Amino acid sequence: MSDPRRALPSVNALLESETVRPLLASAPRELVVNAVRDAVAAARDANDVPRSDGEWGTAIRDALAMRQRRSLRPVINATGVILHTNLGRAPLPAAALEAIRDVAKGYSNLEYDLEHGTRGSRYAHCVGLLRELTGAEDALVVNNGAAALVLALNTLADGQPAIVSRGELVEIGGSFRVPDIMAKSGARLVEVGTTNRTHLVDYERALDGAGALVKVHRSNFAIEGFVADVSLADLVRVAAPRDVPVLYDLGSGLLVSLDRFGLTGEPLASDVVRDGATAVTMSGDKLLGGPQAGIILGRRAAIQRIRTNPLTRALRVDKLTLAALEATLALYRDPATAFRDIPTLAMIALDVADVRARARSVAQELAARGIRCEVVETDASVGGGAFPTARIPSAAVALSGNAEQLDVRLRASDPPVITRIVNGRVLLDVRTLAGGVIDEVIGIVEHALA
């Protein structure tokens, strides 16, 4: 029997067929041509070759849909990791989305002073709220947390020694390391202490000629046992007489205490500012729950120097980020509102009894559709490099069937559902499933198992 791939139709023949002509009326010709080429190439490599005009039409429409599909797409997070770096970290509050729409649909006063009718500065936005919420004298917003650290170091310690404990030379996501980031700032890294123990005297011995003391919050790992650390307040006390600036890389940007949820050990931005750091750097899209941004808080003179650094323009933040960040920060004026309306905080604060009830509801609905599943106890996590040892009690729906195949089908759905596999079963952790997507997830699971 001859191989049907020997008789594949030509691209031109398919373009002239009755099944493809309608596509040429609804999409650019070059895009359709490329889709036809994709379908032919796929058939050449496959065992199951389209044989009829209808089958070719389906293959070409699928290829066209793949070409038209956006690269960056929404997904549904059923992993139980609240700040999942691979999935874009913090989902934005509704107020932030509304602010983005308002600013994006037309012009804005991004760099225009409405009061005086003159050119303004984009760096004026969000400053008032950040000062109000943290007690800082001044603030600056740039494009991300690493940029904030580089900019602060480049301004305050370019070409000078930057003193940091060996126990704080952390590696963050994507294999980026604090020593490498510091080196790019122009500061000269000077390590003091040991991995597990650093004392105040270690800093004092290195103070002569220092450009800055740097303290990095170990947000994504913990050291236990025979350890010693130096508080920020003590560093400020020994640095002040020699006028050496103290930089604190806070990382996650926590603005409200999470102690009542069993999440302790993460400093509040207001506490770090109160302890006297010259400059504090943190992210906007982690525990703060806003868009990706780098925030620098601190003393007025230091922030003014950073603001006028030419590198600030290269790292500047865009109008949509500023709009989203301002709307998110405004929610913190009332902590109860913040925990209700900021998705990151709402997922952390969700009572485990409510999570279990949500899981039971999902399982019952799936069972009613003939899908075998059960509710299991599990642990969620904060993610985003915060509270690395903390586990948040949660509940998940465990799906029966071939876990690997089901995982592939869920990721291929529209929108994709991202899960985790534990003990050979796909788990849907409902702590990270907001109420609005649960019905959609149920439908997607039913389709994937059909």
123/251 same-domain check: yes
Q: Is residue 112 part of a domain?
A: yes
Structure tokens at 64: 């066209």
What are the DSSP E strand ranges found in 4-102?
76-77, 81-83
Angle at 65 between CA 60 and CA 69, to 5 degrees: 155
DSSP secondary structure, 122-137, as one string: GGGTTHHHHHHHH--S
325/416 same-domain check: no
**Measuring CA to CA, which residue among 65, 64, 71 is closest to residue 34?**
64
Cα–Cα distance, 241 to 237 (Å, whole number): 8
122/226 same-domain check: yes
Instruction: Calculate mean pLDDT across residues 128-141.
Output: 98
Contact 173, 146 (CB under 8 A): no
Whether this prediction's pTM lies above 0.75 is answered by yes
Cα–Cα distance, 78 to 439 (Å, whole number): 13
Q: Is residue 313 part of a domain?
A: yes
144/250 same-domain check: yes
Q: Is residue 399 part of a domain?
A: yes
**pLDDT score of 1 more than 60:** no
391/277 same-domain check: no
DSSP secondary structure, 325-372, as one string: HHHHHHHTTSHHHHHHHSHHHHHHH--HHHHHHHHHHHHHHHHHTT--
Q: Is residue 4 part of a domain?
A: no
Contact 169, 136 (CB under 8 A): no
16/153 same-domain check: no
Tell me which residue range forms the domain holding 56: 9-68
236/174 same-domain check: yes
Percent of all residues in the chain with a pLDDT value above 70, rounded to a whole number:
97
**pLDDT score of 385 more than 70:** yes
Q: Is residue 257 part of a domain?
A: yes
What CATH number does the domain containing 441 carry?
3.90.1150.180
Burial string for 352-364 (b: 16+ CB within 10 Å, else e) reads eeebbebbeebbe
Where is the domain boundary, 303, 335, 367?
335
Where is the domain boundary, 309, 335, 361?
335
Dihedral sign (CA 395, 401, 402, 406) = negative
What CATH number does the domain containing 175 carry?
3.40.640.10
pLDDT band at 6 (very low <50, low <70, confident <90, very high): low
| Cis status of the peptide bond prior to 335, with omega within 30 of 0 | no
355/304 same-domain check: no
359/435 same-domain check: yes
Contact 218, 169 (CB under 8 A): no
116/199 same-domain check: yes
110/60 same-domain check: no
134/223 same-domain check: yes
- Return the SS3 of 272: helix
Residue-wise pLDDT tens digits, 342-361: 999 999 999 999 999 999 99
Cα–Cα distance, 219 to 232 (Å, whole number): 15
Q: Is residue 1 part of a domain?
A: no
Q: Is residue 3 part of a domain?
A: no
Mean model confidence pLDDT for the chain = 92
What total number of domains does the chain contain? 3
Residue-wise pLDDT tens digits, 386-443: 888 889 999 999 999 999 999 999 999 999 999 999 999 999 999 999 878 999 999 9
Q: Is residue 408 part of a domain?
A: yes
Where is the domain boundary, 313, 335, 357?
335
